[in-house]
Amino acid sequence: MLIRAGYDIAFECPAQTSMLLQLNVHPSRATDLRSPDVVTADPPLPMSGYLDLYGNRVTRVDVPPGRVTFSNRLVIQDSGEPDETPPDTALTPINRLPDDVLLFLVSSRYCDSDNLADFAWATFGAIAGGYQRVRAICDFVHAKIRFSYPDARPTRCASDSMREGVGVCRDFAHLAAALCRCMNIPARYCTGYLGDIGVPVDPNPMDFSAWFEVFLDGRWYTMDARHNHPRIGRIVMGRGRDAADVAISTSFGLAKLARFEVVTDEQTQIN
């Protein structure tokens, strides 16, 4: 299947401001692209890019005073299959995990697993099998947090979500990933596109989505504590320890968000 995705995001800056943007599809999906994945600016601005420590594409740009709109429209090939369910095998011992996976076992800015370890072991410690533990954690987080855009807060960490019981997709992902790390299951945060493909249309405006991945049986698997069932058509843009590593935009100065529109839908052919 083909998926059309993109965005129009505008900022207003009172003075020249340097910005970092993570608005491209992750390089792991580059071979699936059926049209160019290019960030454009209105007015046109010189931009450069690099790969960060986690392999995400980052754009550097200096924004002049006034309003600037960043846009993109792309078409990507997708299998049309729902997220794959991991096999319920035993957890990989920590001493046999790959070196680059160990980073996703420890606490981070928004996945403060050190504050949740006692609860996690008391609640999930008796569950055997890696996937069954992850499944139980997702069920718990899905029931624990009430989704609410008005209650979104950029400083909320996993333990805050436990206390407050409210949040948006990033809060579901942070809490589930933190609890997995407590249980010695490597977990990393993901952000990207997730359209209403194969499910009822969400009446809320389209947005970027957040989910997480767990390392089981020698590879990474997608998990989603917010929707709590396999979905079709995820397009990953960034991966990291938590949302701090994959911010859509980082401004080194005042940049007021003036417009935010995201599109993700199935397309029958390339225009």
What residue has token string 């019981």? 165
Q: How far apart are the first and last CA of the chain?
A: 14
Domain encompassing residue 16: 2-79+248-267
Residues 51, 120, single domain; the answer is: no
pLDDT given for residue 256 in this prediction: 97
Q: For the beta carbon of residue 188, count every other beta carbon within 10 angstroms.
A: 25
Whether residues 193 and 144 share a domain: the answer is yes
Beta-strand ranges (E) seen in the chain are 2-13, 17-21, 40-42, 47-51, 57-63, 66-77, 146-147, 166-167, 187-193, 209-216, 219-223, 235-240, 249-252, 256-267
Per-residue pLDDT at 267 exceeds 90: no
> Do 258 and 147 share a structural domain?
no
Q: What is the pLDDT of residues 52-110, one digit of tens each?
A: 999 999 999 999 999 999 999 999 999 999 999 999 888 999 999 999 999 999 999 99
Q: Which residue has the higher pLDDT, 91 or 180?
A: 180
- In eight-state DSSP terms, residue 245 is G
Contacts of 244 (CB under 8 A, 6+ apart): 108, 109, 110
**Does the pLDDT of residue 269 top 70, yes or no?**
no
Domain CATH number, residue 71: 2.60.40.2250
Length of the chain: 271
Same domain? 209 vs 259: no
The reply to whether 186 and 151 lie within a common domain is: yes
Task: Tell whether 162 and 63 lie within a shared domain.
Answer: no
Q: Do 55 and 36 share a structural domain?
A: yes
Is 15 inside any structural domain?
yes
| Helix 130-144 / helix 169-182 crossing angle, nearest 10 deg | 140
How many structural domains is the chain composed of? 2
Q: pTM of the prediction?
A: 0.95
Confirm whether 232 is domain-assigned.
Answer: yes
pLDDT digits (tens, 9 = 90+) for 124-156: 999 988 999 999 999 999 999 999 999 999 999
Phi and psi, residue 15, nearest 5°: -145, 170
